[in-house]
Structure 1
Amino acid sequence: MIGSLRQHVKKDALAALESEYGAQLWVTALDLTNPQAVNGAVNQAFQIFGTVDVLLNNAAYGLYGTVEGISTKQTGEVFSVNVFGSLNTARTFLPHFREQGGGQIIQIASMAGQYSAPVTGMYSASKWAVEAAFEALATEVEPFNIQTTIVEPGGIRTNFVGGNGVFGEDPIAYQDTKVEKNGSTDER
């Protein structure tokens, strides 16, 4: 499933910005689960612009279902994108930020990094991991004039869950339970 999500790129979404800003805007697509691709894209951005002031890190892979119903493979995929993709991107920016004397990392996390509810356990776990890592990182890089901000948005009306979310295979045992009635993946 992760391969098909990587293929889902809205190429026209930035066309208006490209038209308006021309050479001031550089657009590239990359696979956040591939550290070499992240490294190449970040290094290319610094080669093109010389300096980059802000990293807006917004990796999001929505995975929903009971903890029992989500496979080990699916758990690995959500952590690969949400946690390791975010960390790999930040790690690649840090040497450049130190060299240029500073920078700003804005890490988009989620309110789900503060709580968990039925059918959001593994997604929440990945966002908790992001929050823990970036809280530590903020203190670690502060001496280098690198600022870190974690943004924790709540529910936003988008097609994130219904259109892009991945769902585990919940066992039949959860039918007619509180899980099904109050947060089941059937209510997407």
Structure 2
Amino acid sequence: MTTWFITGASSGFGRELTERLLDRGDRVAATARRPERLADLATKYGDQLWTATLDVTDTPVLRGVVDRAFAELGRIDVIVSNAGYGTFGAAEEFTDEAIETQLATNLLAPIQLTRAVMPHLRAQGGGRIVQLSSAGGQAVFTGGNLYHATKWGVEGFFEALIDEVAPFGVEITLVEPGVARTEFGPSLVVAEALEAYADTPISQNRQYIEAPGGITANGPGDPGKIADAIIASVAVSPAPRRLTLGSDAYASVHAALTTRLAELEAAEQLAHSTDF
């Protein structure tokens, strides 16, 4: 039986993972702002499910929940850093509070979660960290600047971390889903519009974002299949550095990387010309 620790377990990919893992007989430490939303699973699975209230932006509480989970459950094999949300708008439309909250939830919290679990993973001789990123960690969407800032930051932090923690038997995978039919779309926070952007791409994308059901209503990604792919990846060693999941994710990431590579190659002569 494998033991998992999951943040943001009450909805979206976190809920999908929790249900599937419990159903196959694994044990799950499920954390969420509203763990009461997991009551049906607690009734059905009993001691297989360990729950805790957790706002991942509260670092002292985060550390306490992690320490308690390891103390009460013993070995935890897989850490899934899933909690997060998205914001949309022009950079100058956001309030200071919106910026700080987005960064705290999507970037600082995964960093602090990693710092909290690493002493335990080292002590037990290894483990796996699965970090939910996004196709938006490689490609961009106009109006998603703040969300992309967090996901690109996550990508850099965890890619650098891979070699850092490998000597301790800890492996890491970044998961890059495209648009999937989860609660992400309706939960997207949209900044109050400024008139100056009325005739710009921001305004056009805002209409798409604010359509009934949001961007995820007709997304190509199947949350269940994505959860299954994440679970299957944990049995693979060496761990895949990235799981790009969804046809739209593949297309957007492929286009972004191809464009960046072409731009880099076009600048080769200039790059070399600045050497001594």
Fold in common (TM above 0.5): yes
1:23-34 matched pairs, under 5 angstroms: 23-34=47-58
Give the whole-Å Cα distance in 1 for the aligned partners of 2:47 and 2:183. 31
1:1-188 matched pairs, under 5 angstroms: 9=34, 11-12=36-37, 14-162=38-186, 164-184=187-207, 185-187=209-211, 188=214
- TM-superposed CA distance for 1:59, in Å, is 2.1
Q: Do the aligned residues in 1 keep the contact of 2:81 with 2:110 (CA within 8 Å)?
A: yes
> Residue 8 and residue 30 in structure 1: after superposition, are their counterparts in 2 closer, same or farther (change >3 A)?
closer
Q: Do the aligned residues in 1 keep the contact of 2:33 with 2:54 (CA within 8 Å)?
A: no
Q: Do the aligned residues in 2 keep the contact of 1:70 with 1:170 (CA within 8 Å)?
A: no
Letter in 2 for 1:87: I
TM-score w.r.t. the length of structure 1 is 0.88
Range moving further from structure 2, 123-132 or 64-73: 64-73
- TM-superposed CA distance for 1:186, in Å, is 4.0
- TM-superposed CA distance for 1:148, in Å, is 0.5
Give the whole-Å Cα distance in 1 for the aligned partners of 2:128 and 2:162. 10
More strand by share: 2
Give the whole-Å Cα distance in 2 for the aligned partners of 1:15 and 1:186. 31
Give the whole-Å Cα distance in 2 for the aligned partners of 1:134 and 1:107. 8
Range moving further from structure 2, 172-181 or 81-90: 172-181
TM-score w.r.t. the length of structure 2 is 0.61
Give the whole-Å Cα distance in 1 for the aligned partners of 2:199 and 2:115. 45
- TM-superposed CA distance for 1:92, in Å, is 0.5
Letter in 2 for 1:15: A
- RMSD (CA atoms): 1.8
- TM-superposed CA distance for 1:183, in Å, is 4.4
- TM-superposed CA distance for 1:96, in Å, is 0.2
> Residue 70 and residue 112 in structure 1: after superposition, are their counterparts in 2 closer, same or farther (change >3 A)?
same
**Bigger radius of gyration among the two:** 2
Runs (5+) with no aligned partner, structure 2: 1-31, 215-276
In structure 2, the partner of 1:4 is none
- TM-superposed CA distance for 1:10, in Å, is 6.0
Letter in 1 for 2:48: Q
Range moving further from structure 2, 131-140 or 63-72: 63-72
Q: Do the aligned residues in 2 keep the contact of 1:52 with 1:103 (CA within 8 Å)?
A: yes
- TM-superposed CA distance for 1:177, in Å, is 2.6
Give the whole-Å Cα distance in 1 for the aligned partners of 2:185 and 2:33. 14
Give the whole-Å Cα distance in 2 for the aligned partners of 1:186 and 1:49. 43
- TM-superposed CA distance for 1:24, in Å, is 2.3
Give the whole-Å Cα distance in 2 for the aligned partners of 1:175 and 1:10. 40
Would you identify which runs of 4 or more consecutive aligned residues in structure 1 move more than 6 Å? none
- TM-superposed CA distance for 1:98, in Å, is 0.3
Q: Secondary structure at the match of 1:135?
A: helix
In structure 2, the partner of 1:3 is none
Give the whole-Å Cα distance in 2 for the aligned partners of 1:102 and 1:183. 44
